[in-house]
Amino acid sequence: MCGRLAVTLPDDAMAQLFDAQPGNDLPEVPNHNVCPTTRVHVIWNQGANRRLGAMRWGFIPYWYKAANDGPLLINARAETIADKPAFKAACRTRRCLIPASGFYEWTKDAEGGRDPWYIHARDQSTLAFAGIWQDWTLAGETTRSCAIVTTGANAAISQIHHRMPVIIAPQDWALWLGEQGKGAATLMRAAPEQALGFYRVDRTVNSNRATGADLIKPLSC
Protein backbone atom coordinates (compact mmCIF):
# COMPACT_ATOMS: atom_id res chain seq x y z
CA MET A 1 0.00 0.00 0.00
CA CYS A 2 1.12 3.55 -0.71
CA GLY A 3 -1.54 6.18 -0.14
CA ARG A 4 0.18 9.45 0.68
CA LEU A 5 3.42 11.11 -0.53
CA ALA A 6 5.67 14.10 0.04
CA VAL A 7 7.35 15.82 -2.90
CA THR A 8 9.82 18.62 -2.16
CA LEU A 9 12.30 18.65 -5.07
CA PRO A 10 11.88 21.74 -7.31
CA ASP A 11 10.67 21.11 -10.85
CA ASP A 12 13.91 22.14 -12.56
CA ALA A 13 15.99 19.94 -10.28
CA MET A 14 13.60 17.04 -10.89
CA ALA A 15 13.84 17.48 -14.64
CA GLN A 16 17.63 17.51 -14.43
CA LEU A 17 17.76 14.48 -12.14
CA PHE A 18 15.68 12.35 -14.49
CA ASP A 19 17.01 13.92 -17.70
CA ALA A 20 13.44 14.73 -18.72
CA GLN A 21 11.76 17.55 -20.59
CA PRO A 22 9.38 19.29 -18.13
CA GLY A 23 5.82 20.16 -19.06
CA ASN A 24 4.04 23.38 -18.16
CA ASP A 25 1.34 21.71 -16.05
CA LEU A 26 3.39 20.43 -13.14
CA PRO A 27 1.87 20.30 -9.64
CA GLU A 28 2.98 22.85 -7.08
CA VAL A 29 5.98 21.94 -4.95
CA PRO A 30 6.84 21.52 -2.18
CA ASN A 31 3.83 19.43 -1.23
CA HIS A 32 4.20 17.43 1.97
CA ASN A 33 0.79 15.78 1.69
CA VAL A 34 0.12 14.50 -1.83
CA CYS A 35 -3.17 12.60 -1.83
CA PRO A 36 -4.90 10.20 -4.22
CA THR A 37 -6.95 11.70 -7.09
CA THR A 38 -4.70 14.78 -7.14
CA ARG A 39 -2.05 15.39 -9.80
CA VAL A 40 1.41 13.97 -9.24
CA HIS A 41 4.77 14.36 -10.98
CA VAL A 42 5.45 11.53 -13.42
CA ILE A 43 8.35 10.67 -15.74
CA TRP A 44 7.63 8.58 -18.82
CA ASN A 45 9.25 7.82 -22.14
CA GLN A 46 7.88 9.53 -25.24
CA GLY A 47 9.68 8.34 -28.33
CA ALA A 48 13.37 9.00 -27.80
CA ASN A 49 12.81 11.46 -24.96
CA ARG A 50 11.75 11.41 -21.33
CA ARG A 51 8.91 13.67 -20.30
CA LEU A 52 8.17 15.12 -16.86
CA GLY A 53 4.50 15.93 -16.50
CA ALA A 54 1.43 15.63 -14.33
CA MET A 55 -1.00 12.73 -14.08
CA ARG A 56 -4.00 11.96 -11.91
CA TRP A 57 -3.00 9.60 -9.10
CA GLY A 58 -5.67 6.96 -9.46
CA PHE A 59 -5.52 4.71 -12.52
CA ILE A 60 -8.72 4.81 -14.61
CA PRO A 61 -9.37 1.65 -16.68
CA TYR A 62 -10.60 2.30 -20.19
CA TRP A 63 -14.01 0.72 -19.50
CA TYR A 64 -14.92 3.06 -16.64
CA LYS A 65 -17.91 5.25 -17.56
CA ALA A 66 -16.79 7.84 -14.99
CA ALA A 67 -13.59 8.39 -13.06
CA ASN A 68 -15.31 7.01 -9.94
CA ASP A 69 -17.09 4.17 -11.76
CA GLY A 70 -15.22 1.53 -9.76
CA PRO A 71 -12.53 1.08 -7.11
CA LEU A 72 -9.93 3.83 -6.76
CA LEU A 73 -6.80 2.18 -8.18
CA ILE A 74 -3.91 4.08 -6.64
CA ASN A 75 -1.71 0.97 -6.35
CA ALA A 76 -1.05 -2.05 -8.56
CA ARG A 77 0.28 -5.22 -6.96
CA ALA A 78 3.51 -6.45 -8.56
CA GLU A 79 2.47 -10.06 -8.05
CA THR A 80 -0.65 -9.75 -10.23
CA ILE A 81 -0.06 -6.69 -12.40
CA ALA A 82 0.66 -8.72 -15.55
CA ASP A 83 -2.67 -10.57 -15.28
CA LYS A 84 -5.15 -7.96 -14.06
CA PRO A 85 -7.30 -6.65 -16.93
CA ALA A 86 -6.95 -3.08 -15.68
CA PHE A 87 -3.14 -3.16 -15.62
CA LYS A 88 -1.72 -5.82 -17.94
CA ALA A 89 -1.43 -3.66 -21.06
CA ALA A 90 0.05 -0.73 -19.15
CA CYS A 91 2.67 -2.85 -17.41
CA ARG A 92 3.95 -3.97 -20.81
CA THR A 93 4.01 -0.67 -22.66
CA ARG A 94 3.19 2.26 -20.36
CA ARG A 95 5.55 2.21 -17.40
CA CYS A 96 6.59 5.38 -15.60
CA LEU A 97 8.48 6.72 -12.60
CA ILE A 98 6.74 8.65 -9.83
CA PRO A 99 9.23 10.72 -7.80
CA ALA A 100 8.80 11.40 -4.09
CA SER A 101 10.85 12.68 -1.19
CA GLY A 102 9.10 10.15 1.02
CA PHE A 103 5.80 8.47 1.79
CA TYR A 104 3.57 7.78 4.77
CA GLU A 105 2.24 4.60 6.34
CA TRP A 106 0.22 4.08 9.51
CA THR A 107 0.12 1.82 12.54
CA LYS A 108 -2.59 1.65 15.20
CA ASP A 109 -2.16 2.23 18.91
CA ALA A 110 -3.90 0.28 21.67
CA GLU A 111 -7.01 2.47 21.38
CA GLY A 112 -7.20 2.13 17.60
CA GLY A 113 -5.75 5.57 16.86
CA ARG A 114 -3.77 5.88 13.63
CA ASP A 115 -0.10 6.77 14.09
CA PRO A 116 1.62 8.04 10.91
CA TRP A 117 5.20 7.21 9.94
CA TYR A 118 7.31 9.02 7.36
CA ILE A 119 9.49 6.73 5.22
CA HIS A 120 12.38 8.17 3.21
CA ALA A 121 15.75 7.36 1.64
CA ARG A 122 18.46 7.21 4.30
CA ASP A 123 20.71 9.35 2.09
CA GLN A 124 17.86 11.87 1.57
CA SER A 125 17.84 11.23 -2.18
CA THR A 126 14.65 11.39 -4.22
CA LEU A 127 12.79 8.09 -4.46
CA ALA A 128 11.52 6.89 -7.83
CA PHE A 129 8.48 4.66 -7.50
CA ALA A 130 7.62 2.21 -10.26
CA GLY A 131 4.39 3.26 -11.89
CA ILE A 132 2.06 2.55 -14.79
CA TRP A 133 -0.13 5.01 -16.67
CA GLN A 134 -3.19 5.14 -18.89
CA ASP A 135 -5.14 7.63 -20.99
CA TRP A 136 -8.89 7.65 -20.35
CA THR A 137 -11.27 9.63 -22.55
CA LEU A 138 -14.82 10.75 -21.84
CA ALA A 139 -16.84 13.14 -24.00
CA GLY A 140 -13.72 14.12 -25.94
CA GLU A 141 -11.69 14.97 -22.84
CA THR A 142 -8.68 12.82 -21.96
CA THR A 143 -7.38 12.22 -18.44
CA ARG A 144 -3.91 10.73 -18.03
CA SER A 145 -3.82 8.66 -14.84
CA CYS A 146 -1.30 6.50 -13.01
CA ALA A 147 -0.84 3.97 -10.23
CA ILE A 148 2.14 3.07 -8.05
CA VAL A 149 3.37 -0.52 -8.20
CA THR A 150 3.68 -2.16 -4.78
CA THR A 151 5.25 -5.33 -3.45
CA GLY A 152 5.67 -7.14 -0.15
CA ALA A 153 7.53 -5.01 2.38
CA ASN A 154 11.08 -5.76 3.43
CA ALA A 155 11.70 -6.79 7.04
CA ALA A 156 12.22 -3.22 8.27
CA ILE A 157 9.15 -1.66 6.65
CA SER A 158 6.98 -4.66 7.56
CA GLN A 159 7.11 -3.37 11.15
CA ILE A 160 4.80 -0.63 9.89
CA HIS A 161 2.99 -2.14 6.89
CA HIS A 162 3.08 -5.41 4.96
CA ARG A 163 3.27 -3.63 1.56
CA MET A 164 5.57 -0.97 0.13
CA PRO A 165 6.12 0.81 -3.19
CA VAL A 166 8.52 -0.72 -5.69
CA ILE A 167 11.47 1.70 -5.70
CA ILE A 168 13.55 1.82 -8.88
CA ALA A 169 17.27 2.53 -8.43
CA PRO A 170 18.80 5.17 -10.74
CA GLN A 171 20.78 2.59 -12.70
CA ASP A 172 17.49 0.81 -13.51
CA TRP A 173 15.39 3.81 -14.55
CA ALA A 174 16.02 3.21 -18.25
CA LEU A 175 15.05 -0.45 -18.00
CA TRP A 176 11.81 0.31 -16.18
CA LEU A 177 10.91 3.01 -18.72
CA GLY A 178 11.40 0.57 -21.59
CA GLU A 179 14.54 2.21 -22.98
CA GLN A 180 16.71 -0.90 -22.59
CA GLY A 181 14.58 -3.72 -23.89
CA LYS A 182 12.97 -6.43 -21.75
CA GLY A 183 13.55 -7.38 -18.14
CA ALA A 184 11.55 -4.76 -16.22
CA ALA A 185 9.69 -7.49 -14.31
CA THR A 186 12.89 -8.33 -12.43
CA LEU A 187 12.80 -4.86 -10.84
CA MET A 188 9.49 -5.41 -9.03
CA ARG A 189 10.95 -6.28 -5.65
CA ALA A 190 11.35 -4.67 -2.25
CA ALA A 191 14.15 -2.15 -1.71
CA PRO A 192 17.03 -3.28 0.55
CA GLU A 193 16.40 -2.65 4.24
CA GLN A 194 19.39 -0.34 4.56
CA ALA A 195 18.09 1.95 1.79
CA LEU A 196 15.20 3.41 3.79
CA GLY A 197 14.72 5.11 7.13
CA PHE A 198 11.50 5.96 8.95
CA TYR A 199 10.19 7.80 11.99
CA ARG A 200 6.92 8.80 13.62
CA VAL A 201 5.32 12.09 12.67
CA ASP A 202 2.43 14.04 14.14
CA ARG A 203 -1.13 12.89 13.53
CA THR A 204 -1.83 16.18 11.78
CA VAL A 205 -1.00 14.45 8.50
CA ASN A 206 -3.97 12.12 9.03
CA SER A 207 -6.05 14.90 7.48
CA ASN A 208 -5.77 15.12 3.71
CA ARG A 209 -6.13 18.88 4.08
CA ALA A 210 -3.01 19.30 6.22
CA THR A 211 -0.09 21.19 4.66
CA GLY A 212 3.41 22.37 5.46
CA ALA A 213 6.90 21.09 6.18
CA ASP A 214 5.99 20.32 9.81
CA LEU A 215 4.15 17.24 8.55
CA ILE A 216 7.47 15.42 8.03
CA LYS A 217 9.15 16.57 11.24
CA PRO A 218 10.01 13.73 13.63
CA LEU A 219 7.52 13.47 16.45
CA SER A 220 8.84 14.82 19.72
CA CYS A 221 8.36 12.24 22.46
- Give the pLDDT of residue 181: 86
Count of C-beta atoms within a 10 Å radius of residue 96? 27
Residue at 67 is within a domain = yes
Whether 176 contacts 168, CB under 8 Å = yes
- Give the pLDDT of residue 77: 98
For residue 73, give its domain range: 5-102+126-192
Residue at 143 is within a domain = yes
Stated as kind and residue range, the H or E segment containing 48 is none
- Give the pLDDT of residue 2: 87
Residue at 40 is within a domain = yes
Q: What share of the chain is helix, strand, coil (3-state, %, to 5)?
A: 20, 40, 45
- Give the pLDDT of residue 221: 56
Which of 2, 91, 96, 146 is an active site residue? 2
DSSP letter string over 77-142?
A: ETTTTTT-TTTHHHHHH-EEEEEESEEEEEEE-TTSPEEEEEEEETT-PPEEEEEEEEEEEETTEE
What pTM was computed for the model? 0.97
**Cα separation, 69 vs 72, whole angstroms:** 9
- Give the pLDDT of residue 47: 84
pLDDT tens, residue order, the chain (221 aa): 789 999 999 999 999 999 999 999 899 999 999 999 999 999 999 888 999 999 999 999 999 999 999 999 999 999 999 999 999 999 999 999 999 999 999 999 988 899 999 999 999 999 999 999 999 999 899 999 999 999 999 999 999 999 999 999 999 999 999 999 899 999 999 999 999 999 999 999 999 999 999 999 999 75
**Cα separation, 36 vs 87, whole angstroms:** 18
Task: For residue 105, indicate whether it is catalytic.
Answer: yes
- Give the pLDDT of residue 26: 97
**Cα separation, 142 vs 133, whole angstroms:** 13
Residue at 50 is within a domain = yes
Residue at 214 is within a domain = no
195-211 exposure pattern, b = at least 16 Cβ within 10 A, e = fewer: bbebeebbeebeeeeee
Residue at 165 is within a domain = yes
- Give the pLDDT of residue 117: 98
Q: How many domains does the chain have?
A: 1
Residue at 112 is within a domain = no
- Give the pLDDT of residue 133: 98
Residue at 201 is within a domain = no
**Cα separation, 1 vs 20, whole angstroms:** 27
Distances (CA, A) of 19 to 30, 49, 187: 20, 9, 20
Which of 91, 96, 105, 146 is an active site residue? 105
Task: For residue 2, indicate whether it is catalytic.
Answer: yes
**Residue 77, domain CATH:** 3.90.1680.10
Count of C-beta atoms within a 10 Å radius of residue 163? 17
- Give the pLDDT of residue 96: 98
